[in-house]
A and B are shown apart, each in its own frame.
Chain A
Amino acid sequence: MNIDSIQNGVVIDHITAGNGMRLYQLLGLDSLDVSVAIIKNVVSRKMGKKDIIKIDADIPVDFQVIGYVDPGATLNIIRDGQLVSKQAVEMPDRLVGVIRCYNPRCITSTEQELKQIFKLTDREKRVYRCIYCETAAK
């Protein structure tokens, strides 16, 4: 399968196989008017299988979203067809405006203008809790 290499843009690599679509949705890539390729189940020496997202535009990418969905992923920035930076993404300590609290008793369920903020409470188990009601994110 051939996917053209990009001249200026972003490649999110080493995404755990199966996480590509979720990342695509949470990053809001569906609303962009640029070429985006989601490549699923690519053979990888290191991971066995992986997903890759290629975005054919030099846009800012929300690190916290990638770190939340897949802390093992890498973010590659391409300019003039050359790799100019390659960064491993870490789990963020806080998530702002990425996911919603589903607890109907939480203040964020009635006061919609409040920012949805989650904090990392268990790095090992990757548990994020709403800062208001402390409900764990699903």
Chain B
Amino acid sequence: MRSVIDILDLSTEELESLMATALDIVARPDDYADACRRKKLATLFFEPSTRTRMSFEAAMYELGGHVISMSSAASSSAAKGESVADTAKVVSCYADIIAIRHPKEGAALVAAENADVPVINAGDGGHCHPTQTLADLLTIRREKGSFEGLTVGLCGDLKFGRTVHSLINALSRYRDVRFVLISPEELKVPSYVKRDVLKKQGIPYQQTTSLEDAIPELDILYMTRVQRERFFNEEDYLRLKDSYILTPDKLRRAKADMSILHPLPRVNEISVAIDADPRACYFKQVLNGKYMRMALILMLLKEAGTI
């Protein structure tokens, strides 16, 4: 049974096909309004994430399907000690497709190995979050028309930020993409990502601690939040959380057509004053996420022979 746990589970052709479907949904939503009629998506969210969960739910409803879910992890069978494997087997009996979010890394793979229906990873701890990357890709595609030749700045928590690693993996497949990695020393991109992805494929990148210095050359600025839940130590979190804040003043040096992305939720790393700037794309990204989740649900249900 085909599942999507990591962005690497999707080939470049599949990414292109998903983006094409998403754009077709945008253009002709009525054609998809009954595509998943009488089919059910189960959302298994073992940690809070209102936005991703609502995005999946909205996606399934717009495809004419239904959604079943548990009200919270605290009230679920997991709280009674049920394993992820057992939960996946049980929920397979009720649903045609599962979207799972879990605080432990690898939980989505365990679910996929045990479910009889396709599983979509909606985030497994700090590990993978492929549908966020799909949202990022569609946003860049819609804003820039192409990925080729772009200079992409990634800013903030590049160590624990799973969206950053996935985006690097996905964009590395396209020609002439260049990365500028902007972070404090403590939150730099892990060496294995640089070694296994960037250096291995000869992709140019530079590392800097200064957002001001890097911003003039960027086509894309991908901001991230320094997440409290990724730290074991509160002191480290408090010291680093305000490292990089995008303000109108810093934005003055950016290109007129630079696109600002952020996986949201933001805390304070993008000043609210920037929301009105035409370069701010993070709310469009949310909408694009829903379209890509619709495209992914369609792809997996078709492959499973369910629709």
Contacts and interface: CB of A to CB of B under 8 A. Distances in A.
Interface of A: 103, 105-111, 113-114, 121-122, 130-136
B127 interface: yes
Interface of B: 83-85, 102-107, 109-110, 124-127, 192, 196
A103 B103 CA distance: 13
A10 B85 CA distance: 39
The main secondary structure of chain B at its interface with chain A is: mixed
26 contacts: A103-B105, A105-B103, A105-B104, A105-B105, A105-B126, A106-B104, A107-B84, A107-B105, A107-B109, A109-B104, A110-B104, A111-B84, A111-B85, A111-B104, A113-B83, A114-B110, A122-B196, A130-B106, A131-B109, A132-B110, A133-B105, A133-B106, A133-B125, A133-B127, A135-B105, A136-B192
Given A107-B104, A109-B104, 18 more contacts: A103-B105, A105-B103, A105-B127, A107-B84, A107-B105, A107-B106, A107-B110, A107-B124, A108-B106, A111-B84, A111-B104, A113-B83, A114-B85, A122-B196, A132-B107, A133-B106, A134-B127, A136-B192
B102 A107 contact: yes
B83 A132 contact: no
A132 B103 CA distance: 13
Which of B83, B106, B110, B196 has the largest number of chain A CB atoms within 10 A? B106
Contacts of B105: 103, 105-107, 132-135
A107 B126 CA distance: 12
A124 to B, nearest CB: 12
Contacts of B103: 105
Contacts of A135: 105
A-B pairs, top 8 by smallest CB distance, nearest first, are: A132-B106, A133-B105, A107-B104, A107-B106, A107-B107, A133-B106, A105-B105, A105-B125
Nearest to A134: B127
A114 to B, nearest CB: 7
A121 B127 CA distance: 17
A120 to B, nearest CB: 13
Contacts of A132: 105-107, 109-110
Contacts of A134: 105, 127
A109 B105 CA distance: 10
A42 B124 CA distance: 48
Contacts of A111: 83-85, 104, 110
Contact of B106 (A106, A121, A122, A136): A106
A121 B126 CA distance: 20
A111 B110 CA distance: 10
A109 B104 CA distance: 9
A130 B83 CA distance: 19
Contacts of B84: 107, 111
Contacts of A133: 105-106, 125, 127
A107 B114 CA distance: 14
A121 B109 CA distance: 18
A135 B106 CA distance: 10
B87 to A, nearest CB: 11
